[in-house]
Amino acid sequence: MGSPHLTGTLDRAITGVRTLMGAAMEGAEPTDLRLAFDALRDQWWAAERDSRDDEAGSLRRFEDVAATIYGEAFWPAIKAVSEGRDPLEDLDRASEASRWILRAHTAFVSQHPEAMTLCFRRAANVVRDAEREPPAEA
C-alpha cells in the first residue's frame, strides 16, 4: 500500500502490523503482543482524533482513518497466531477490509469523497462484524 502520495501514518500502521505478526509467528507471548498492539492502537487513535479538524478530503485525515481501520482489521489474526489457532478466517476478513481501504484510496485520489466514505464504512463494518462473531470452536 505504500505510495509517494501518503504521509506515513498508514505505512507505519502496516509496518506495526507486520512486526506484530512476525513476533506472533516467532512465539511471542499473547499478553506481550496485546500490550504492543494497544500501544500502536493508541497512536493510531490519537492521530485519528487529531485529524478530525482537518478537511474531509485531506491526506492526513484519509491516512489516519485508514491506519486505524487497518490495524483493527489485522489484530484478530495476530491474536489467533499467537494463541496457536488457525488465523485463516481472520486473515480473510483483514484482507477484505484492506481491499475496501484500497478502494477508498482510489476514491480519495480520484476526488470522490462519497465513494471514499462508503469504502471506509464498508471496511469498518468488516472489522465490526468480526468483533461480534464468537470465536470458532477448535
Domain map of the chain by residue range? 9-132
pTM of the model: 0.85
CA distances from 57 to 37, 64, 112, 114 (A): 28, 12, 9, 10
Note the pLDDT of residue 84: 93
- Residue the block writes with cell 470465536: 135
List, for residues 27-40, the tens digit of each pLDDT value. 999 999 999 999 99
Confidence of residue 8 (pLDDT cuts 50, 70, 90): confident
Greater confidence (21 vs 52) lies with 21
Q: Which of 54, 52, 68 is nearest to 127 (CA)?
A: 68
